[in-house]
Structure 1
Amino acid sequence: LGNVYLPAGFQLQESPKIFRWEPGIFFEQLHKRFLKKPEENGKGKPYYAVWALTQKDEFTRSSVNSGHISIVRDKDGILRHFPLIIKVDSLYFPAVSLSIFLDYNKVPFEKININWGENIIIPSLPESYLDEDVVIPIDEYGNVFIPYYGFWSDGSSKMMEVQNLIRYSDEPEYLDDLLDFYEGSFVFISDISVGTSDLGQTTIEENVPLVTVHAALLNGMLNNQFYTKWNILPLAAIIFVSGVLLILTALPRTNLIFYFTALLLISLILYFGYNQLLSFNLFPSFSVSVFVFLIFIGMMISIQVISAKDRAFIKNAFARYVPDKVVENLIDNPEQLKLGGEERELTILFSDISGFTSISEKMNPSDLVSLLNEYLTEMTKIIIEKEGTIDKFIGDAILAEFGAPVMIEHHADAAVASAILTQKRLRELNNTWKEKGYPLIMNRTGINTGNVIIGNMGSEQVFDYTAIGDPVNLAARLESANKFYNTKILISEFTYRKINDSLYHTRLLDVIKVKGKEKAVKVYEVTGFVSDPLLEEDLKYYDFYDRGFNFYLHKQFAESKEHFTKALQIRPNDYSSAELINRIDKLNSASLDENWDGSITYKEK
């Protein structure tokens, strides 16, 4: 089919070493025919061959020439470079791809010109087939940057399994097809089995047979197409422009934009470098990215130093008056140090101790302060752990917002979970306080979700970070409504729509209208997490109540009263069932209009 070239593997090292000669035809041919002394310029650091691993003598006799296939991986294991020439004692031996190319174009190996650290020039001699010199860039080691021309995995190279090659060669009827398949081609025969050591990672692909290295080198020589390096001036310009962009994005002192710009610049540099690689241009994307990153780090440190004084002032001025999260938000966004606010959907939690006035009358002041401080501390811990913000303490009451100043996605769930956890923690505290002789403490919680105005409210001299709006008022009304229903946690229908109700034990308790509002609101009771066990009697009670209330809303009052009565038999002191039975008894179903919604007007604040 054509001329055969014998590849040989060598153990290479960077320091001079006497080559280990062995008996055999290959070593005879290596000494007599293959090793040459090309013209050299400059001082190089060629790799030295220590010993060789070659094929049987029969292969050597059949070959017209030879070349080395010794891979030199970069430190990260990627195949970027390949030594086109190696040194064997005082002479040089070419890579198999270079040997093939030289013979193909009738250029003797000793006629090439090696300019260490610059290039190898293959001259277009009068007797050669070259129209122009082929210039191959190399470093001081004789390495060329491998010009990969395509992806192995996309099948861009023609391939045939060796067993098929042998079978077709032995069958005359396939010989013409075989000649057509290979005619005018350079053929590399290699083991590409998965799991062999003859696989590696190139600059553009992983797990590639190493034969692609030699095919890429030969392709580069045939097309006189190798990677060229970028000049220093364009690189400096790119770094300068990147620095200017970072400065401009840092001026507003918005960290997100600054960080995003740095990440985007580095990503674009790496992407540009990859595309340059495909276009046979060596753009030092890693080095440029490092320079940009160092500029970013330098600017970030400078910004921190410059703003340290302002941050310290803000923290010292406001840490005693507003929640820590608000302080941090003000530090990151000092422009918020002005009156005004923004409209945002939040979940409001309002909690209060039941009967605190009577409790305070029974305790001496020091014990009362100690108990109240411990209570508020423990409740606050839970709210903050659930990413809530303590708006203010109003005596024994707690007003908290979820979703401000830092927005959280599931603010309604966070508020409901906080309410349940505070109830559990309060039971533990009561056990401790009982030993001290303190009275039993019970608290009630109202939760509502809606759009409020959140921000700095007050005068220009004194202001407070707080929320205002009807949703805040409704949360307070729901807290107060607990005492009429003998419940602990009530949430509005607006909060119920936002929570994942599969996480909690909830029930539709009633429909109420608060003072000053015409629109009725559905109110739900939360009794715990789904993981909290319920007694069989509790399950029956909730089933009777839910079905009774559903009948009630659909004006099926007889059925409704029947189920509320059954619920009351399970819980004789249940206010909600008794209230609804009383309400049904007072209703005149014939006089109800079509807009009847089953609600009761709640007149207490």
Structure 2
Amino acid sequence: MSSLPVAIAGVQVRIIDLFKGRASLGYVVLSATAIFLFDTWSPLHFAVAVLYSVVIVLATLWFKRLGTVRTAALCASLTCLSFVITHGSDLDGSALARTLISLAAIAITTKLAVLNIATRERLIALGKEKDNLARFFSPAIVEQIAKNDIAFSTTRYEPAAVLFVDMIGFTKFCSVLRPQDVIAMLRELLCMLSDSVFDHHGTVDKFTGDGLIAVFGTPVSSPLNATNAVRCALTMQERLQAWNETRAAMGQDAVAVAVGIHYGDVVLGDVGCESRLELTVLGDTVNVASRVENHCRAANASILITDAVVERMEREGSDRTVRRFTDRGLHTIRGHSDAIRLFAIPRDAEPAIP
């Protein structure tokens, strides 16, 4: 999706907004009437009615396709009426030719105007869609989606790393802070967390109130999906530490988050009803990542990852990042029958990114 056509469409919208609230229909009628009077009673003999094309072009600034077509019909009717008033049933060759030329000009201008309106509406819609995608995808992924026309509606299995991050002790903050302060804190926190996701080529699957779910590998895959997810988690903790230092200087309490990551196949598809569909990931990988994040409290860990993540990172050549984690052995995760080997960054460890 080129930014230039979207910018041109934006300029057209601003021009339209300039005339909003004014008697746009009056301008069209007044212009058409002036041309009609000049065409009918002027002694000059040339295709004055061609000037109706200007009226149609002006109509595109105020009206949509239907209004533009109606304006064109008005201009064509006035052209024919002018011919009848001036020449009656005397089909003079030159006069008839001028009238036909004017009608052809009106038809061509109308066709081009309707195409322009359709293009403008499509570009505006694409611009809005791009802005909406930017809420959940990194700029690089948005551009790739737009360039390659990646279909979201195709339900499929995809290997991906799923990251859950959640604020610890959110209820306590709600009990001591004013509602507006809680919302302000959450907005700042979620902005920081989502920026970390985008910086590591991930996708925000959804916001969960005091946290978020991120996916690395959909809808655009990368050879470093697991590595990107883990480095994203480390970045989150690093930025959180710096943010807490700022909060401490302002006399505010520190904020802590827990991060859990699992790697495996996920189901990617649209869920919901027809009036509100949501692209999301589902499956056992997502469930395990959620349980691993919940287990951070009991394990006194800021980040927990599974052995599937470690194995994938080793295949991706990220052994140095793997060595940052401590093997915590096998753990039974609620809702999962098999024990899972977990690797942790302790809560009091430095979250430096290797």
1:392 to 185, 206, 219: 206
Shift in CA distance, 324/512, structure 1 to aligned 2, threshold 3 Å = closer
Provide the residue aligned with 1:331 in structure 2. 146
Q: Distance in 2 between matches of 1:307 and 1:331?
A: 17
Q: Distance in 2 between matches of 1:379 and 1:530?
A: 15
Do 1:444 and 1:482's aligned partners in 2 also have CA atoms closer than 8 Å? Answer: yes
- Give the aligned residue type for 1:374: E
Provide the residue aligned with 2:238 in structure 1. 424
Do 1:502 and 1:530's aligned partners in 2 also have CA atoms closer than 8 Å? Answer: no
- Give the aligned residue type for 1:313: A
Q: Tell me, what secondary structure is at the counterpart of 1:514?
A: coil
Shift in CA distance, 461/487, structure 1 to aligned 2, threshold 3 Å = same
1:332-347 correspondence to structure 2 within 5 Å: 332=147, 336=151, 338=153, 340-347=154-161
Do 2:326 and 2:345's aligned partners in 1 also have CA atoms closer than 8 Å? Answer: yes
Q: Tell me, what secondary structure is at the counterpart of 2:207?
A: strand
Provide the residue aligned with 1:207 in structure 2. none
- 1:275-325 per-position Cα deviation (integer Å, ceiling 9, x unaligned): xxxxxxxxxxxxxxxxxxxxxxxxxxxxxxx98754542442574376245
Shift in CA distance, 344/307, structure 1 to aligned 2, threshold 3 Å = farther
Runs of 4+ aligned structure 1 residues displaced above 6 Å come to 528-533
Q: Distance in 2 between matches of 1:318 and 1:520?
A: 42
Structure 2: 5+ residue stretches without partners? 1-117
- Give the aligned residue type for 2:128: N
Shift in CA distance, 523/309, structure 1 to aligned 2, threshold 3 Å = same
Q: Tell me, what secondary structure is at the counterpart of 2:165?
A: strand
Do 1:386 and 1:418's aligned partners in 2 also have CA atoms closer than 8 Å? Answer: yes
Provide the residue aligned with 2:345 in structure 1. 526
Q: Tell me, what secondary structure is at the counterpart of 1:400?
A: strand
State whether structure 2 residue 327 is matched by structure 1 residue 513: no
Q: Tell me which structure has the larger Cα radius of gyration.
A: 1
For structure 1, which segment, 327-336 or 509-518, has the greater mean C-alpha deviation from structure 2 after superposition? Answer: 327-336
- 1:436-466 per-position Cα deviation (integer Å, ceiling 9, x unaligned): 2321111100000000012322222211121
Q: Distance in 1 between matches of 2:194 and 2:178?
A: 24
Shift in CA distance, 530/490, structure 1 to aligned 2, threshold 3 Å = closer
- 1:515-574 per-position Cα deviation (integer Å, ceiling 9, x unaligned): 3332221111135789779xxxxxxxxxxxxxxxxxxxxxxxxxxxxxxxxxxxxxxxxx
Q: Tell me, what secondary structure is at the counterpart of 1:367?
A: helix
1:32-431 correspondence to structure 2 within 5 Å: 310=122, 312-317=124-129, 319-320=131-132, 323-325=136-138, 328=143, 331-332=146-147, 336=151, 338=153, 340-431=154-245
Q: Distance in 2 between matches of 1:337 and 1:530?
A: 35
1:404 Cα deviation from its structure 2 partner: 1.4
Q: Distance in 2 between matches of 1:531 and 1:421?
A: 8
- 1:470-515 per-position Cα deviation (integer Å, ceiling 9, x unaligned): 1111111111101001111000111010112322411211312323
Shift in CA distance, 493/421, structure 1 to aligned 2, threshold 3 Å = same
Q: Distance in 1 between matches of 2:232 and 2:164?
A: 11
Q: Tell me, what secondary structure is at the counterpart of 1:524?
A: strand
Shift in CA distance, 455/410, structure 1 to aligned 2, threshold 3 Å = same
Q: Distance in 1 between matches of 2:159 and 2:119?
A: 32
Shift in CA distance, 357/518, structure 1 to aligned 2, threshold 3 Å = same
- Give the aligned residue type for 1:316: K
1:341 Cα deviation from its structure 2 partner: 1.8
With a CA cutoff of 8 Å and minimum separation of 6, indicate the structure with the bigger relative contact order. Answer: 2
Provide the residue aligned with 2:276 in structure 1. 462
Do 2:226 and 2:263's aligned partners in 1 also have CA atoms closer than 8 Å? Answer: yes
Size of the aligned set, in residue pairs, is 228
Q: Distance in 1 between matches of 2:226 and 2:350?
A: 14
TM-score, normalised to structure 2, is 0.58
Q: Distance in 2 between matches of 1:514 and 1:431?
A: 34
1:549-560 correspondence to structure 2 within 5 Å: none
State whether structure 2 residue 302 is matched by structure 1 residue 488: yes
State whether structure 2 residue 292 is matched by structure 1 residue 478: yes
Do 1:351 and 1:443's aligned partners in 2 also have CA atoms closer than 8 Å? Answer: yes
- Give the aligned residue type for 1:460: E
Do 1:382 and 1:422's aligned partners in 2 also have CA atoms closer than 8 Å? Answer: yes
- Give the aligned residue type for 2:151: Q
CA RMSD between the two structures:
2.8
Q: Tell me, what secondary structure is at the counterpart of 2:162?
A: strand
Do 1:319 and 1:327's aligned partners in 2 also have CA atoms closer than 8 Å? Answer: no
- Give the aligned residue type for 1:491: I
Provide the residue aligned with 1:501 in structure 2. 319
Do 1:420 and 1:529's aligned partners in 2 also have CA atoms closer than 8 Å? Answer: no
Identity %: 26
Provide the residue aligned with 2:9 in structure 1. none
Q: Distance in 2 between matches of 1:484 and 1:434?
A: 26
TM-score, normalised to structure 1, is 0.35
Structure 1: 5+ residue stretches without partners? 1-305, 534-605
Shift in CA distance, 418/337, structure 1 to aligned 2, threshold 3 Å = closer
More helix by share: 2
Provide the residue aligned with 2:33 in structure 1. none
Shift in CA distance, 467/315, structure 1 to aligned 2, threshold 3 Å = farther
Do 1:434 and 1:440's aligned partners in 2 also have CA atoms closer than 8 Å? Answer: yes
Q: Distance in 1 between matches of 2:137 and 2:324?
A: 32
Shift in CA distance, 316/478, structure 1 to aligned 2, threshold 3 Å = same
- Give the aligned residue type for 2:265: N
- Give the aligned residue type for 1:376: L
Q: Tell me, what secondary structure is at the counterpart of 1:371?
A: helix
Do 1:450 and 1:471's aligned partners in 2 also have CA atoms closer than 8 Å? Answer: yes
Do 1:315 and 1:327's aligned partners in 2 also have CA atoms closer than 8 Å? Answer: no
Shift in CA distance, 309/336, structure 1 to aligned 2, threshold 3 Å = farther
Do 2:295 and 2:333's aligned partners in 1 also have CA atoms closer than 8 Å? Answer: no
1:403 Cα deviation from its structure 2 partner: 1.2
Do 1:491 and 1:524's aligned partners in 2 also have CA atoms closer than 8 Å? Answer: yes
